[in-house]
A and B are shown apart, each in its own frame.
Chain A
Amino acid sequence: MKRPIEISLVAVWVMALAFGQQPGEQQLSGSAEAGYRWTTNLAGSHYTYRSVVDLGEGPKLLDFDLAARPTGRSWWDRLLVSGGSWGGDPYNHARGELERFQCYRFLVDYRNLTYFNFLPSFANPQLAGGLESSQRTFDSDRRLVGIELELLPGKRVSPYLGYRRDAGRGYGITPFVENGNEYPFRTRLWDQTDEYRGGVQFNWPRWNLTLEQGGTAFKDDQSVYSTGPSLGNRTTPLLGNLLRLDALNQAYRVRGRSLFSRATLSAAPAEWLDVTARFLFSQPRSEVEHRFDEGGLLYWGATRFLTGRAGFTSAEAKMPRTSGTATVELHPWRWLRLRESWWTYQFHSATSGLWVETLIEASLRQELRIAASDRLVYRSNQQQLEVLVSPRPWWTIRGGHRYEWGDATVRGGTLGILGNPELGELKRHVALAGLHVRPNARWRTSLDYEVADTERSYFRTSLHDYHRLRIQTQWEVTSNLRVGGGFRLLDNQKRSRELVPDLAFDQRFQASFASVEWRPQGGERLSLIADYSRIAVRVDTTLIRTEQLAPGGYRHRENGHLATALVDCKPMGPEARGVPQLQLGGSLYVDSGSRPANYYQPVLRLILPVHRSVAGFAEWRYYGLGQAFYELESFRIHHVLAGLRLNL
């Protein structure tokens, strides 16, 4: 293993093993799985494989977890450690939890998520020339670290502190947009957010109050720079001149900060009364400096051509936000619950800035200055009443109403900085209904239904007049067999009543699934877990049709079938040494809609227990993505993994 952290983790685990385990006591339990992965020659798009799967060869610490308790008195009562995908894999994670009951609880969480995205797009003007890199691409990592320390958990007064870092680093390609052309250049991505928070929990038998104060500090220093001259995406001359960019440097320097406050109350002053409330306030702000410097042959205005341009921007943005929620539930009798809730959320952004540009035309320089501001105002409210009636303990029927209202003022879509404000509104009534049936511990069915009548919504694609239905059921047929199923439906329609009648947005989402879990004889020798889902999406809307540049109909369709399964076979039982065990399964996805695709991921694993605590394994995985309309974005690859699994 190449990284010291994997070695350290395995060393900790080995030491824990060496610790020894007293017969009859369970002070230590855990497992670890490590091995070596080989990949076959990739067929198809390497970039798409990296964008979708991105697993490589080499030694891997696949999975580990450890749970420990001291046998005698100690400064700790419980230790939980888990993680996986170490050894160069694109998404590794580790989590630790150390606790002494009612004294402290310490949590650490680490994740590293690689984001690689380089998908050759259908609308790449340079694709015919073999250039795939004229689009936005990313080869970056996001690292997330969280630490939380809670003191005296469960006591009357429990303070806590938390820290979290979210950092992005990497490179990519960003088209630098100039008048009349776009130039793909290398991008350096760098951003970081640090969040600090601290608070106190007041825990009394009938009420809990949490007060929290925190802040964030944000930095963004991304840049775009040229590594050579570029002709950009425009392949034809403009007014007889071939635009080009010979050199570019663009850099951001964004510094942001925010203070936030949170107060949460939950109380049960009486057996028949529950109250919850929450108030949040935050004041984020950003201070921006942006510079760019370019040279080449640039197009400006109607007929001007420049040899260079430079710019500097200084701006700031503020967005104070306030939200509050309160809910009261009365349950005067066992069979009746009345729940009333209110919710409000509002923010506004106030921004201002100064843009300074220098236009360079041979030896002439001209400076332009623009000062501008922008504003976005948003207010949203909800009020909801629900009644839950349980005539018998095994079934509950629910009904209610929700009213949503709000408004927003946004800058209208127009060229240039100085746009006119537009007003949007939200007014919606929603009727709620539900049913829950649980005649015994083995069978449960629930149903949720909403129907909305909307007078105003913000966007053409917003929820407007919609029906939403969800049904879910679970049945434990026997102690070894469990089946489940469900159905979801969203039917949303928006007609423009005031204007042109044929402006419409019709959306229908429908999903159903069935699952089975079968473990004959407790699953000692055979178990099967399988599920099948069917997803159908239909969207009909009017938009500007590309070919005619006029309004026309557009249809989006998704007809997806998803299936996953896992068969686990232990012919001689889980304790048999030297007898192979077999796991066979995987997932498949087939879609025949607007973007037909099939994605197969079968897996076969052979496990050979050699000791009470040790088993060897070999695994084969296949990843195959095919896309009928985008054959350039298809791939297939085989992975073979061999390793050991250790159990405590």
Chain B
Amino acid sequence: MRRVFRCGSLIFLGVLAWAGQNPRVSSEPAWAGTESCGTCHADLVRGFQLNPHWAIEVGHTRWPSWKGKVCEACHGPGAKHAESADPAAIKHPGKLAVSEADGLCFTCHRGQPTQAGRLHGSHARNQVSCVACHSIHGARPHSPAPRRAADITAQCASCHAGVVAEFARPHAHRLREGAIRCVDCHNPHGEFLPKDQRLAGANEPGCLRCHGDKRGPFVFEHAPVRLEGCSACHEPHGSVNPRMLTRAEVRLLCLQCHATVATRQATSPAALGGVPPAFHDLRSARFRNCTLCHQKIHGSQVSADFLR
């Protein structure tokens, strides 16, 4: 068993150490050339000159063998299609199986840092192709991907209309106003965290990218903030409740955890969260708005009870 494991490890390491080869252009005379493509598809070729991928056509990339054949870098050899004008004689990435279409993009883009979390991503898991969002021949000549906040929102809403609609609630992040974009919090290429959430500062929840005053570390931490994140209490897309809380009144949020009235068994922890002390007369308005006093609820530098 050990020998099998050692051999398997060596083989695996050998494969990993293999540097691979550049995607080389076949020397077979099946290529038509971009000039030939432009004979029938003049508008597309002209528009494509504004696309960053045009750098391949003029040889400004590390794949010089594709110079003069940028169309066929994605669509495959086009000589037969040029002769017969048969659509079936050439690849159409929008009509290929998702893995096949993505494979065209990953010929060059697989190793990019933006793809690091791809295998974890919801889009990859649900077979959403690169061309579902990146329009190579689309209306945005300068960039295959939307850049303006409104365009990004519209792109995401084309599938996630129900999620984008949540920002129509009264208390919401300013997505509809363009001050924040879906991609500020979510990485559409995939991330290692659930729902493709981005990280901030390398190792912190993405919320702290803008809400740096909640980063800490605090002398006294509020455990759910660290253990379960901001969405333990807030609805980040939008809420009918003030401050995007998940409950209509803040006390109802706190009392869910701070109402463990039964005695906890020493060998069987049930849930974290203590009981409010007896002087909290919840019939009084003073004690029914918890954060009136426990203001530093995200963590306090001074007070163990988050009072300051």
Contacts and interface: CB of A to CB of B under 8 A. Distances in A.
Contacts of B157: 515, 531
B62 A390 contact: no
Interface residues of A, number: 199
B247 A556 contact: yes
A174 B62 CA distance: 59
B202 A282 contact: yes
Interface stretch (A8-16, A36-44, A263-271): A263-271
B217 A285 contact: yes
A78 B52 contact: yes
A319 B110 contact: no
Contacts of B39: none
Interface residues of B, number: 129
Contacts of A216: 201, 215
A135 interface: yes
Contacts of B6: none
Interface string A141-168: 0101000000000111000000010101
A512 B221 contact: no
A182 B111 contact: no
Interface string B193-225: 000000101111000011011011111110110
Nearest to A335: B99
A4 B112 CA distance: 39
Contacts of B199: 280
Contact of B202 (A280, A436, A456): A280
B271 A496 contact: yes
A564 B165 contact: yes
B283 A448 contact: no
Given A319-B216, A446-B127, A201 B301 contact: no
A556 B247 CA distance: 7
Contacts of A164: 209
Interface string B98-142: 111000001000111101111110000111000000000000011
Contacts, number: 455
Contact of B143 (A80, A511, A595): A80
A117 B245 CA distance: 13
Given A204-B111, A412-B274, A288 B171 contact: no
Contacts of A394: 97
A572 interface: no
A588 B170 CA distance: 10
Interface of B: 15-23, 50, 52, 55, 60-62, 94-95, 97-100, 106, 110-113, 115-120, 125-127, 141-143, 147-150, 157-159, 161-162, 165-166, 168-171, 174, 177-180, 192, 199, 201-204, 209-210, 212-213, 215-221, 223-224, 226-228, 232, 240-243, 247-249, 251-252, 255-265, 268-277, 281-286, 288-289, 291-293, 295, 301-302, 304-305, 307-308
Report the 3 A-B pairs with minimum CB-CB distance, sorted nearest first.
Answer: A413-B274, A513-B162, A206-B20
Given A168-B213, A207-B111, A424-B272, 14 more contacts: A117-B242, A136-B291, A193-B212, A262-B202, A286-B218, A286-B301, A318-B217, A334-B99, A374-B304, A446-B126, A458-B224, A458-B228, A461-B257, A543-B259
28 contacts: A123-B292, A124-B289, A154-B61, A205-B22, A210-B113, A214-B202, A281-B202, A313-B302, A327-B119, A351-B220, A413-B273, A413-B274, A422-B269, A424-B269, A446-B126, A459-B224, A462-B228, A462-B271, A486-B162, A499-B262, A499-B270, A535-B166, A544-B276, A546-B282, A587-B168, A589-B240, A595-B241, A595-B248
